[in-house]
Chains A and B, each alone.
Chain A
Amino acid sequence: AIQMTQSPSSLSASVGDRVTITCRASQVIRNDLGWYQHKPGKAPKLLIYATSTLQSGVPSRFSGSGSGTAFTLTISDLQPEDFATYFCLQDYSNPMTFGQGTKVEIK
């Protein structure tokens, strides 16, 4: 199975900050990567798929980039509702595999 290494595992940031989260794949996965936001007790929410395609209804402060084995989620102008856990998911090959998650906390 493809291993996804996500970093950092947690970070502290302030409202208005720019935040960057990285996922690295153990092999090339083209652009077959998505990013999700997860808040406790709620269903995870799709933010971005195919590396950089913003899901309908997701604010434009969320963006994704990368290719091959290295991918990045950027949140520009962090908002109070953005404090949550974020994880990546590769859909290049079965079984799909996840990053370990990044908890974004209020500084």
Chain B
Amino acid sequence: QVQLQESGPGLVKPSQTLSLTCTLSGDSLSGRSFYWAWIRQPPGKELQWIGNVYYTGRTYYNPSLTSRVTMSVDTSNNQFSLKLTSVTAADTAVYYCARIVVVPSATLTRYIDSWGQGTLVTVSS
């Protein structure tokens, strides 16, 4: 059974860098049919797609965050990570890591089949 677990500081100071790691168990990060995503939900707001990374290191970032986001993979430790720079209070949110399944087909079906439980990151001095 695939499990994803987020880890990292729960409190980050404004202007600093938020760093989170997601550890995968029960499967390999190197699966060719999967992308690995970060998603967040600020208090009282809807979910927001931050971006995703492939096992090769290829990334896609949400255009609204692309100037501050970096994602990477560590296949030897079965982990992937998120860095978000220059954080403000608006970055306070529950951060989730997730696995995207890609089904090769004429329409390239994608869906998230596994999520972590989420970790609350608060930006405050």
Contacts and interface: CB of A to CB of B under 8 A. Distances in A.
A97 B49 contact: yes
Contacts of A43: 4, 96, 114-118
Interface of A is mostly: loop
A50 B46 contact: no
A12 B58 CA distance: 44
B109 A50 contact: yes
B62 interface: yes
Interface size class of B (residues with CB under 8 A): 20 to 34
B109 A42 contact: no
B111 A98 contact: no
A95 B63 contact: yes
Interface in A24-44: 30-32, 34, 36, 41-44
A74 interface: no
Question: What interface size band does chain A fall in?
Answer: 20 to 34
A44 B115 contact: yes
Nearest to B3: A43
A36 B116 CA distance: 14
A46 interface: yes
Contact of B117 (A34, A42, A99, A101): A42
A50 B110 CA distance: 8
Interface stretch (A13-21, A65-73, A75-83, A86-94): A86-94
Interface in B97-125: 107, 109-118
Contact of B109 (A32, A95, A96): A32
19 contacts: A31-B107, A32-B110, A34-B111, A34-B112, A42-B117, A43-B116, A43-B118, A46-B111, A46-B112, A49-B109, A87-B46, A91-B109, A94-B49, A94-B60, A95-B49, A95-B51, A95-B62, A96-B110, A99-B46
